[in-house]
Homo-oligomer: A and B are copies of this chain.
C-alpha cells in the first residue's frame, strides 16, 4: 500500500548533518531571524534532501499554537456552505493555517457537539458558518478559549461577516411590490426551537417590513416554514397553492427553495411569472439557468473575508466588529406584474 517509513527524519538528524544545534535548525526552518544566511541556506538544503519538514504538532506543543482553525457548518448540504468553505480555504492556507471541518447535523448532534466540543484543544480559532445557536451553546463555545468568527450570521459580541438580511429581503419584496403584487407569500426555513438562525429571522423581518411600508396587512397564512432543501421549497409552494386565495408572488428564503417552489408551480400547471412570480436569494449557479430573479449575495467574498478576519485576529490585528457585505437585486424572468 505504501512503504514503511524508516522512522521519520527529525530535526536532530538535520542538525547533525548540518553540524549545528537543533535550535539553529529550528530558527532557520521557521524563518526566524538570527541565523546567518550561509547556515540557513545550508540547513535548508539538507532539509530538502532529507525531505524533512518540521512537525507541526511538536512545534505547536512547544509554541502553544495549533495553526488550525475549525469551520463549523450546519446540516444542509446547500451550495452556500461549500461555496463559503471553498473561499475560506485559500485564505487560511496562504496564512499557513489548516482547516478542520465539522458539520453538525440535527438537534441531537448539535447538542452533542456543544457538549463535547470536539474541536477543543485542536484549533486556534473557530468559524461558524450560519450555524443556528442557542445562548447556552454560545456560552459553551466560549469555554474553548479561542476567538470565534461568525460567517453569514450576525451575533453581538463576535466578529461577524454577513449581509444585511432585512435589506436583502426588502430588495426582493419591494421588487415584487413595484411590479404590482399585493398578495406576496414567503417561504422560510425551519428554526430548531431555541436556536436563532439569523438569516431566516432577518429575511422574514425584511419581508414584513416591506409589506408594512406598502400598507399591506400581514397574513400569517402566506408565511410557510420548511426544511432547507429543494423538496422543502416544493412542499411549501404546494401548501401556498392550497390556500383559498393563493399568493400571486412568492419570496423564497433561498434560490434552492425558490427552484423547488418553481417545480411545484410547473407541476400544478401554473406559469411563471404569468400566474405566480418567484424571487429567491443567493444567486445560486442554477438561478440563472432557471431564469430566477434573485437577490445576489457575495458568497465567495463572505468566505474570503471571514478567513481574513481569522488571520488578522491570530496576528493580533484589530478587526471590525461586523463587516456587512452588499446584496443586490438581479431581475430575471421569474417575476412580472400579476396576471
Given A99-B101, A143-B51, A289-B259, does the pair A93, B77 have CB atoms closer than 8 Å? no
Bound: A93/B51 CA distance, A? 31
- Secondary structure at the A interface, as helix, strand, loop or mixed, is mixed
Residues in chain B near residue A82, CB distance under 8 A: 77, 79, 81-82, 85
Question: Are the C-beta atoms of B145 and A2 separated by less than 8 Å?
Answer: yes
Question: Are the C-beta atoms of A2 and B122 separated by less than 8 Å?
Answer: no
Residues in chain B near residue A57, CB distance under 8 A: 57, 60-61, 66, 121-122
Q: How far is the CB of A117 from chain B (nearest CB, A)?
A: 8
With CB as the reference atom, state the residue of chain B lying closest to A289: B263
With CB as the reference atom, state the residue of chain B lying closest to A259: B289
Q: How far is the CB of A247 from chain B (nearest CB, A)?
A: 21
Q: How often does this chain occur in the complex, in copies?
A: 2
Q: Does A120 contact B (CB under 8 A)?
A: yes
The contact of A142 among B3, B102, B313, by CB within 8 Å, is B3
Residues in chain B near residue A90, CB distance under 8 A: 103, 105
Question: Are the C-beta atoms of A2 and B147 separated by less than 8 Å?
Answer: yes
Q: Does A29 contact B (CB under 8 A)?
A: no
Bound: A99/B85 CA distance, A? 13
Most chain B CB atoms below 10 A, which of A4, A68, A77, A146: A77
Q: Does A166 contact B (CB under 8 A)?
A: no
Question: Are the C-beta atoms of B230 and A145 separated by less than 8 Å?
Answer: no
Question: Are the C-beta atoms of B1 and A159 separated by less than 8 Å?
Answer: yes
Q: Does A53 contact B (CB under 8 A)?
A: yes
Residues in chain B near residue A60, CB distance under 8 A: 57
Most chain B CB atoms below 10 A, which of A2, A3, A98: A2
Question: Are the C-beta atoms of A86 and B98 separated by less than 8 Å?
Answer: no
Residues in chain B near residue A144, CB distance under 8 A: 2
8 A Cβ contacts from A145-184 to B: 145-148, 157-159
The contact of A286 among B55, B105, B230, by CB within 8 Å, is B230
A257-291 Cβ-contact flags toward B at 8 Å (1 or 0): 00110110000000000000000000001100100
Q: A82-B85, A90-B103 are known contacts; what are 19 more A-B pairs with Cβ within 8 Å?
A: A1-B147, A1-B157, A1-B159, A2-B142, A2-B146, A3-B142, A3-B145, A5-B145, A53-B120, A54-B121, A57-B60, A57-B66, A79-B79, A89-B101, A90-B105, A98-B122, A100-B101, A230-B286, A262-B289
Closest 8 CB pairs of A and B: A5-B145, A82-B82, A99-B101, A101-B101, A57-B57, A263-B289, A55-B121, A89-B103
